[in-house]
Amino acid sequence: MLHLEYVSNGEESEKPIRFIPANANSSGLIFNETDVYVSTKNNCGGVPNAVWGIDLLSPEKKVVSWKTNGGSVVGTAFGTDGTVYASTADGDYSPAAFSDSVVVLDRKTLAMKDFFSPARSAFTTSPTVFAFNGKYLIAVANQDGHIYLLDAAAPGGTDHRTPLASIAAGNITTGDLATWEAAGTRWILAPVTGSKNAIAAFKVVDAGGKPTLQQAWVSRDMIVPQTPAIVNGVVFAVSGGDGQHAAVLYALDGATGKDLWNSGTTITSYARTGVSGGSSQLYLGTHDSTVYAFGYPLAPIGE
C-alpha cells in the first residue's frame, strides 16, 4: 500500500492506495508532484522484477508497470520532462528480457521507449541524470568496473550499445553515484572498492564537442565507502566501517579530495548508508539504530 502523509504531523492525507503485490522486495521509492514510482527485485513473493507507477491525479489511481522479464531493477531516476530511467542487473537472457540495461520509460504508461545494453554485465548503480552543454546526460556504473556516460535522449545510439564515453573507475556497489556542478565544471563521484577503497572523482569535459569523463582525484582510504553528499563544494563522505571499525564522516575539498575535517571517534557503530540532510544539518544512521546529526557552515569550509 502507498501511504501519503503530511510532512508537518505525519497524518495521512488520504486513504492508503493499493500499489504493488504483497511480499514484494521493493526499494527506491521516488516521486514528483503527480507521479510515484517504486522498483521490485529478486522476484520475491512471486512478484516480477519491475518498475511500478501511479498517477496520483487520476481518479482511479491505476497502477502501471514495466517488467524486465529478467534481472532485478537496480534503481530509477527522473529526467526534467518526467521521463523515467531505470538500470537493471543480471537475469534471464531471453530475447524479451532487459537485464544489464539502462532503459527509458514513458512517465505515464512506463512503456519502454529506448535502451542501452553494452554487454552481459550487471549495472550496479541507479542512473544519474544531469545537464551538460545544452543536453541531458546519464551517468551509471556497471559491474565491469566502468562508469558509462549516455545521451539521455538516445542512451545507446542506433545500435543500443554505444555510449558517449566510459571510464574505468573500479568496483562500485553502493547503488548510487553523486554529482554536482561548480564554476562550470560537472563532477561525478563514486565510492569505489578494490585496490583502494575510497571516493573517486571524475570531471565531465568537452572533447571536441563530445562529452567525456576524466579522472580528477581519489580520496584517502576508507573502509566500505558510501555515496557522498555535496554541500557548498564540500564532499561529505562516510567511511562505513565494519564489525571492528566504527564509521567516520569526512569533509573533503571538492576540487582536490583533501581532508578538511572528520568526526573522529564520535560515531560508535558502522554504517551502510551515506549522509543526508539540509538546513545546515547532516544526518547519518548506523547499524546500532542511532541517528547522528552534524552541523555544517552555510559558507564553504575555510571561508
SS3 46: helix
In the prediction, which pLDDT does 64 show? 97
* Alpha-carbon torsion angle 251, 253, 256, 261, nearest 10: -40
In the prediction, which pLDDT does 246 show? 98
In the prediction, which pLDDT does 300 show? 57
pLDDT in tens, 201-210: 999 999 998 9
In the prediction, which pLDDT does 8 show? 94
Instruction: Indicate the class that CATH gives domain 221-303.
Output: mainly beta
pLDDT in tens, 260-292: 999 999 999 999 999 998 778 999 999 999 999
With beta carbons less than 8 A apart as the criterion, state whether 206 and 233 touch.
Answer: no
**Closest to 178 (Cα-Cα) out of 162, 193, 189:** 189
> How far is residue 52's CA from residue 17's CA, in Å, rounded to a whole number?
13
Phi, psi of 77 (to 5 degrees): -155, 160
User: Which residue type does 184 have?
Assistant: G
- Quick one: what percent of the chain has pLDDT higher than 90? 83
Segments of the chain scoring below 70 in pLDDT: 91-96, 298-303
In the prediction, which pLDDT does 195 show? 84
Q: Across the chain, how many H-helices and E-strands are there?
A: 0, 23
Q: Among all chains, which residue has been given the C-alpha cell 548510487?
A: 176
What pTM was estimated for this model as a whole?
0.92
